[in-house]
Structure 1
């Protein structure tokens, strides 16, 4: 059951206030287009992305074997950089995949750099996660 504490009610009222304030400004003149986009995003997430990353996570768990208390110790060191890289791809995919023709004419900037930069950020995330994993393994062994 949901706890009807005063703090929750205040947060709920404030969130409705933010939505009522920002909604008309966000939707602007194309309310139908924005609503269709949000509905499409929800459908794509629920029917494509959620099963995809659920299967990938289960595959990682199966690959790593079982540990006595839960998933393999390294699994979050894979999840975090993949999640962050995927989030960056989701936000910037039109520019990363060069699907925006009017970007260069509108901004005067080249759109050719986004794929390379996304790959560099992804590589940095993976290397940082691998180094962090190695450091935690080293620290645990040094404590024993």
Structure 2
């Protein structure tokens, strides 16, 4: 008896085909101008990420985990990793504006002021870490309430 391919529901297949069509359309539009420059940028970004940024992420993660392990708090790792990862992702996406590298181009393209991206990114980072710290405090309090009192 031949094995049946796991294709999914018709709705999933339709969504997949629509996403491929949209990606194809975007690719044709993106590459219609300077296709070599776009391809070079994509390859360069992949190499920069894989050869430079990924080792830096790994080093920062190992350092944070090592510090938490030394303090006996390895279970606190997600409360540092998640806000750091989200903040890093925002920095990666908005780096040219946060660093003030494309002020003139941004103003010409959008008509908006590029000022304030650094301050907003720092504020978002602070809120992410504060929210994570609040969740950790709530978790520690709940665990302390559920623990039976020590008998003397």
Q: How many residues align?
A: 138
Per-residue displacement from partner, 1:34-85 (whole Å, max 9, x unpaired)? 111110111011101111111111112211228xxxx811111101111111
State the match for 1:5 in structure 2: 6
2:91 aligns with one of 89, 98, 117: 89
State the match for 1:26 in structure 2: 30
1:40 aligns with 2:40: no
Larger Rg: 2
Cα 1:44–1:28 change in 2 (3 A) is: same
State the match for 2:134 in structure 1: 131
Whole-angstrom distance in 1 between the partners of 2:52 and 2:24: 30
State the match for 1:57 in structure 2: 61
Structure 2 residues without counterparts, runs of 5 or longer:
148-152
Q: Pairwise CA RMSD of aligned residues? A: 2.5
Whole-angstrom distance in 1 between the partners of 2:39 and 2:91: 22
Structure 1 residues without counterparts, runs of 5 or longer:
none
4+ residue segments displaced more than 6 Å: none
Per-residue displacement from partner, 1:3-28 (whole Å, max 9, x unpaired)? x52139948x6354443232102223
Give secondary structure in 2 for the equivalent of 1:65. Answer: helix
